[in-house]
Structure formats: C-alpha cells, structure tokens
Amino acid sequence: MEAAPAPLVVVVMGVSSSGKSTLGSALAARLGVPFLEGDALHSPENVHKMAAGRPLTDEDREPWLAALTDRIRQWADAGRSGVVTCSALKRAYRDRFRRTGARIWFLELDLDPEVAARRIAARTDHFMPPGLLDSQYAALEPLAADEPGTRVSTAGSAARTLAAAIEALARGPARPVPDARLRSPSRDPRSSVGEDGPGPAAAPGRGSG
C-alpha cells in the first residue's frame, strides 16, 4: 500500500499589500486545510509601532516569529497540513520555520513596488502605513534556489494568482493532506475568489527546490 503523503505547511510570503491574506485564505479553503493569518499574532506594541510609521526591528519581530514557529510546530506534531501568511522577508526567518519538523513550502508573492504603493495607499482596513513599504522591499531577501517554494506574480486578479499557486503546488510538493475537521472546500465560501482585487498574472515560478 502506498504511504500517505506527509503533511505540508504552505507559507504565503511577501511584502505588505501583495495579497497574502486574500490568497492564503482562498488557498487553504481550496485545499481543505487550516489557515493562519500571521499578522494576528503580532503584539499590540508591534501593531502600534507599525501604525505610527516606524519599522520593526529584529528584536521587535522575535516574539512574533516565535509564536508563528510554535504554531507551525504544533501542526507538524499533530500531523496537520496548513497555510500560513507571513512576510518572511529574511532567509533567517524562513529557516526557523523549516526547523519545526514540518514539510515547508514557500509561496512568494511578487509585486512591482509601484503597484504595491498604489494598493497600500488605497487600503483602509490595515495597520501598515504606506511609508513602511520601502523598508519592506529593502529587507526582502527573495527565495533562493535551495529553498523549497516558488514565486508567482500578483499583478493581476486574485483568481489568476490562486490558479497559479495551485498549479505550482502540483508541480512541486505533493498536495497537502485535507483536514477532515474542516468543511468541504467546495462548500466553503472562502474557496471562491473573484476576478478583482489583489492577486495575479502568473509568473514563471521557482522549482520546488
């Protein structure tokens, strides 16, 4: 009998306004796995600092990264697949996730800085101000060839980005193990992504590395 595929945790990464939350929630619903919004684990102090236009330091991010790492480790220990959003700008952050025991696959959302600036300026429901976008691009260390994952463009529609992500998953790691504790993704409204909103024209992605 063929062994069941190992659980997989997809980390949707990228700068603010690249569409991580939109894509992450839709991808999790489509795959039938839990979704974790990484920003929800930021401390009130971090949120206040960013809202005031001051970029976080590595010291500020440490408790947040620790909380994310712990949540991914819990999924791994329970044998659960999942999707989590996290800017994951630096290689060192991503390496922490890979040491959890989970099978990690990064989905890097690629967006032109000018498009990102327009999107973030139009947002009214997020604490990240436009003035911090430059600092995120400055800190971003794109996925390296030896990191498991791929990159997709989010310049087009959310529906096209989701399709590109699904295709990249099929080319790279095995499909995540659906979670029986969730509703069927075909009946989950989160699995329906409209043609408008932050999301993509598909770009050639990196291999599963």
Q: pLDDT tens digits, residue range 138-154?
A: 889 999 999 999 999 88
Joined together, the tokens standing for residue 50 give 């960013």
CB atoms inside a 10 Å sphere around CB 72 = 25
What's the rounded Cα separation, in Å, for the pair 106 and 150?
6
* Mean pLDDT score, 108-115: 85
In this prediction the pTM is: 0.78
> If we measure between CA atoms, which residue out of 136, 167, 147, 155 comes closest to residue 14?
136
Confidence of residue 78 (pLDDT cuts 50, 70, 90): very high
The reported pLDDT for the residue numbered 128 is: 60
The CATH fold assigned to 10-191 is: Rossmann fold (3.40.50)
pLDDT over 90 percentage in the chain: 43
* Mean pLDDT score, 43-60: 87
* Mean pLDDT score, 126-145: 79
What's the rounded Cα separation, in Å, for the pair 165 and 163?
5
Q: Please, what is the average pLDDT of the chain?
A: 79
